[in-house]
Chains A and B, each alone.
Chain A
Amino acid sequence: MKAWLPTFLRALLCLVLIAFLLAPQVFEPLLKPLVQPNAPAIYNQGSLIDLTLLHLRTVFIATVLATLVAILLAIMVTRPFGAEFLPLSRSLVNIGQTFPPVAVLALAVPAVGFGEKPTLIALFLYGLLPIFENTLTALTNLPRSVMEAARGTGMTDFQRLLQVELPLSLPVIVGGIRLSVVISLATATIGSTVAAKTLGEVIIAGLQSNNLAFILQGGLIVGALAVLIYDALTAVEALLSRRTGRA
């Protein structure tokens, strides 16, 4: 495969996505064959671009919170004072992952009401594990000689963390964030079952009115976003790896 082809395909996907969000009517003839004669082919109960931005916002907030908590937790359990909590924190974070997101929503609604909040809670819990696991792996697998040298030069524990451990762990941490974002992008769609404004709304509307075009456009936008964000973060990760001399 030619080297420029993947870049070209990504750029094309990005352009098509933007075009579809800005002017969905243009694509109507393409989706028309999928629906019954009188049904609308383009989602008509709200603006697709608004829903996309809200979807991204929800994922963004949940990921930022999950990143902060997961990294802090991983830092804590890799310090001498927190080592005892390593098994406990591992199982806590694992539970977050094994709990079905729908169940989290069902449990969160009575507590915080309908809307964006229960979705944020589900996405937050769901996003913790990949970031936590990756940060933990990175922090516990730093090159021995480098850590030894960091101690030998007279860095305090905190200086070692900020100047050596975290910068060297960054590529692997970004890898965890990447996984977490992609999981959240997909999972956020079910937030619409509890009235969160996400692209799930389009899919649910399609399911309720038996409109294949709605389901398809909701799903494809989420899919395209996931591919593009995944690729972008992979590029960031590669850049960071090169800078830390590990590539």
Chain B
Amino acid sequence: MIEIEGITKRYDDTTVVDGVSMVIEPRTVTVVVGTSGSGKTTLMRMINRLVEPTFGTIRIDGEDNRSMPAHELRRRIGYAIQGHGLFPHRTVAQNIATVPGLLGWGKSRTAAKVEELLALFQLDPATFADRYPHELSGGQQQRVGVARALAAEPNILLMDEPFGALDPIIRAKAQDDLLAIQKHFNTTIVLVTHDMNEAFHLANKIAVMDKGSVLQYGPPAELVRAPANTFVETLIGETERPFRLLSTGTACAAAEPGEAEGEPIREDLSQQEVLAELLWSGRRAAPVVSAGGAPMGRVTLEALVKRASRLQ
């Protein structure tokens, strides 16, 4: 759990972050969105003390984050940034082993961890371990960057626009991978982005920031149904609202008992994707199956339309 309490950051006369208080639940994905200059990155960098606040306290699992030297704190918190920031003079394996090395892990423990992470990120250890970052594609570099951030098994992972440099196809895949990784390690993730689609795709809770303040902090559906002000409304996009609502739920949640014709839909698809599939295939309902292929009922167009409405 990360408790942010009355955090303010001033540079000379400019207030970048202005009295922000919020609680980030453990084992969740919290996305901080806002325009550039809204202070979202500064807020995140104060969690691992890359920036020191002017006022306020941040507690991690109840402990003030200033109770230990900053470099020791950072070794316990994963940090992944846009443009990956891999060390160009070190191989993939050496890059991933950075924090274990700083913590003084043994050779075999480190090697095992590197291998595990490479496999988890679908990078064959035999092929990639000894390559240098410049020999990888953008998507591979990004994955190594996240693997490095996770190497010392941190409870918390901070991500600063980690997918900003990726093309749309790789980005969608990277986002799905991140959710899978989050489930696998039960990491608390705080992610900063200006991409609303990304926020709705990933977040358990979204914090909207503008001019240094958090305007609204809550589950994605709440932001759509009850935006705190016009800024939040504009950021979400008026015409996007029903689709944003659908994007926050899975097919599983919209399933009802019954039969339907045609190609089955996987339960972990978002309702937005299910809607698209139904519209495209011209069906009024589709069967839902689990990842293993077991039937789980059906999703109907009517149910989705109901879910997309503010009245629900």
Q: Which residues of A contact B (CB under 8 A)?
A: 143, 145-146, 148-156, 159, 163-164, 167-168, 243-246
Q: Is the CB of A245 within 8 A of B79?
A: no
Do B83 and A243 touch across chains, with their CB atoms under 8 A apart? no
Which of B71, B73, B81, B135 has a CB less than 8 Å from the CB of A145? B81
Asked if A167 and B85 make an inter-chain contact with CB atoms under 8 angstroms apart, the answer reads: no
Number of A-B contacts (CB under 8 A): 71
Q: Does A164 lie within 8 Å of B74, measured CB to CB?
A: no
Known: A146-B87, A154-B71, A243-B89. 10 other contacts (CB 8 A): A145-B85, A149-B84, A149-B87, A153-B79, A154-B73, A154-B76, A167-B89, A244-B89, A245-B89, A245-B134
Residues on the A chain within 8 Å of B71, using CB: 154-156
Task: Please measure, in the bound complex, the distance between the C-alpha atom of A75 and the C-alpha atom of B81, giving whole angstroms.
Answer: 26
- Distance A148 CA – B81 CA, assembled complex (angstroms): 8
Across-interface contacts of A244 in B (CB, < 8 A) = 88-89
Measured CA separation A164–B72 after assembly (Å): 18
User: Which residue, A149, A154, A168, has most C-beta atoms of chain B within 10 A?
Assistant: A154
CB-CB contacts below 8 Å: B72-102 with A: 72-76, 79, 81-89, 98-99, 102
Instruction: State A164–B98 Cα separation when bound (angstroms).
Output: 11
Q: A245 touching B88 by the CB < 8 A rule? A: yes
- The interface residues of chain B lying within 8 Å CB-to-CB of A168 are 87-89
User: Does B205 lie at the interface of the complex (its beta carbon under 8 Å from any beta carbon of A)?
Assistant: no
In contact, A164 and B87 (Cβ under 8 angstroms): yes
Hey, which chain B residues are within 8 Å of A143, CB to CB?
Answer: 85, 88
Take A152-B50, A153-B98, A164-B87 as given contacts and tell me if A245 and B133 are in contact as well, using a CB distance cutoff of 8 Å: yes
Determine the chain A residues whose CB is within 8 A of the CB of B121 once the complex forms. Answer: none
Do A154 and B72 form a contact, CB below 8 Å, given A168-B89, A244-B88, A245-B134?
A: yes
**B contacts, CB < 8 Å to A:** 48, 50, 71-76, 79, 81-89, 98-99, 102, 132-135, 145, 148, 158
Bound form: Cα–Cα A152–B73 in Å:
10
Q: How many whole Å from B225's CB to the nearest CB in chain A?
A: 36
Expressed in whole angstroms, the Cα–Cα distance for A72 and B71 within the complex equals 24
Q: In the complex, what's the smallest C-beta–C-beta distance from B248 to chain A, in angstroms?
A: 30
Interface contact B82-A246, CB-CB below 8 Å: no
B132: A residues at CB distance < 8 A: 243, 245
User: What would be 12 A-B contacts, judged by CB atoms less than 8 Å apart?
Assistant: A143-B88, A148-B85, A149-B145, A150-B85, A152-B74, A152-B79, A152-B81, A154-B71, A154-B102, A155-B98, A164-B87, A167-B89
Q: How far is the CA of A155 from the CA of B148 in the complex (A)?
A: 14
Alpha-carbon gap, A151 to B160, bound state (A) = 14
| Residues of chain A within 8 A of B158, CB atoms compared | 152
The complex places the Cα of A148 from the Cα of B50 at a distance, in Å, of 9
A154 lies within 8 A of B75 (CB) = yes
| Distance A167 CA – B145 CA, assembled complex (angstroms) | 20
* Contact indicator B85/A146 (Cβ below 8 Å): yes
Q: How far is the CB of A243 from chain B (nearest CB, A)?
A: 6
- By Cβ-Cβ distance, the 5 closest A-B pairs, closest first, are A149-B85, A152-B79, A154-B75, A154-B74, A245-B134
Complex contacts, A164 vs chain B, CB 8 Å: 87
In the bound complex, CA of A82 to CA of B48 (Å): 26
Q: How far is the CB of B130 from chain A (nearest CB, A)?
A: 13
Asked if A146 and B73 sit within 8 Å, CB to CB, the answer is no
Most B Cβ at <10 Å: residue of A148, A149, A244: A149
Q: CA–CA, A124 to B148, complex, Å? A: 43
Contact call A149/B81, Cβ cutoff below 8 A: yes
Contacts A153-B74, A155-B102; A145 near B82 (Cβ below 8 A): yes
Q: Are the CB atoms of A145 and B98 closer together than 8 Å?
A: no
Q: Are A153 and B83 interface neighbours, CB within 8 A?
A: no
Best-buried of A143, A153, A159 by chain B (most CB within 10 Å): A153
In the complex, are the beta carbons of A153 and B134 less than 8 A apart? no
Q: CB-CB < 8 A to B75: which residues of A? A: 153-154
Q: Shortest CB–CB separation between residue A164 and chain B, in angstroms?
A: 6
Task: Find chain B residues with CB under 8 A from A149 CB.
Answer: 79, 81, 84-87, 145, 148
A150 CB to closest chain B CB (Å) equals 7
